[in-house]
Structure 1
């Protein structure tokens, strides 16, 4: 294990972060942060700063992150993680999950915690049109759903949504959120796929989705 331990970034090391989003502009923004403290199952990092604008980047509970740090010789080591919570020291710190050592790679993996899932979603448009659809995938940053018509949706439209989330325990949760349309396109099948990013979702509700995604990911791995 000693060799693995050396692979983790150390206190005061810089880490470079991209936040998962269905919005391509957001995904490509790189932020810089620093490891402030290391706990048994998490890292505490400083509030990240956007590398181009120098502005601080606000992170939310459940945000998924692609992180890399540099080891001797300037080699990048990547891992995917998510925001577990926050801590107040002299400055505000963000707690992110420590990755499994074997998941740290020299190649950036784009498979953020987004799982293929057919969940029932209720959608309400600005003009009060309501319809039910089924998701194509679900993640910590947004969802995609399939419908037979487009409902005249265009990029930037805001929707009110309720997602039905079933867990392995048999319980079913309703997760309400407000979302923005990132893209809506017609598939070869004639159906429409609409990609949404969360605009307004409570930390509590987002955690429900993250939990569901982890359950699903675990299922896929164990098949």
Structure 2
């Protein structure tokens, strides 16, 4: 399940406002995970975590599914590179994060929405985005109703420079205003597994990038 080369995001469970660290799996066996020295997501400085430090780890494996597991630092070693040794809890202790549990990211992506019943169609941007839905900025003159159903095309810009175009059905859950702007919260419905994997990857990449810039608070 976990493989050499996978990227881990680590957080100290005993620090409520602790930093997030990025590292890579360089070796592993049934009981241990060897990682390169973790880098602070904000400062990019390496961190030699102390032995017995308890951590939570996030990793994307198995076709872009996000998993979380608990581990702790067992020790350190200098082989080809300086490394830390973590406890390997095994596949049974890795919890798959369901898409509706995943973080909602404040981000503006291009989208186009259509509503068969009211025959409305318009292009706009999102205020935020998650695997469960998003908030959409409504252009002037666009009037929607709660519980109205529609379909949208959502453009996800990925970290590698590619774009994924998702065609997703949704239902309008709430209409609200902020700073003289009108937004609609929409909830995705009947999302295919293929699309769900791309959404998870997109949110994970944005979360990682925001933490690196110090823009994402816990």
**TM-score normalised by length of structure 1:** 0.51
Alignment of 1:180-219 (within 5 A): 180-189=171-180, 191-219=181-209
Question: How far apart are the structure 1 equivalents of 2:147 and 2:131?
Answer: 19
Question: How far apart are the structure 2 equivalents of 1:158 and 1:168?
Answer: 31
The answer to whether 1:129 aligns with 2:144 is no
Q: Point out where structure 1 has 5 or more consecutive residues left out of the alignment.
A: 6-37, 46-80, 85-110
On the 8 A contact 1:178/1:198 being kept in 2, the answer is: yes
The answer to whether 1:140 aligns with 2:131 is yes
User: How many residues align structurally?
Assistant: 129
SS for the counterpart of 1:136 is strand
Alignment of 1:30-179 (within 5 A): 40=90, 43=93, 82-83=97-98, 112-126=102-116, 127-149=118-140, 151-179=142-170
On the 8 A contact 2:146/2:175 being kept in 1, the answer is: yes
Question: How far apart are the structure 2 equivalents of 1:200 and 1:154?
Answer: 21
Per-residue Cα deviation, 1:87-146 (whole angstroms, up to 9, x for no partner): xxxxxxxxxxxxxxxxxxxxxxxx941101110011001233211010000001111110
Shift of 1:187: 2.6
Per-residue Cα deviation, 1:54-88 (whole angstroms, up to 9, x for no partner): xxxxxxxxxxxxxxxxxxxxxxxxxxx6139xxxx
**TM-score normalised by length of structure 2:** 0.53
On the 8 A contact 2:124/2:139 being kept in 1, the answer is: no
Question: How far apart are the structure 2 equivalents of 1:117 and 1:129?
Answer: 24
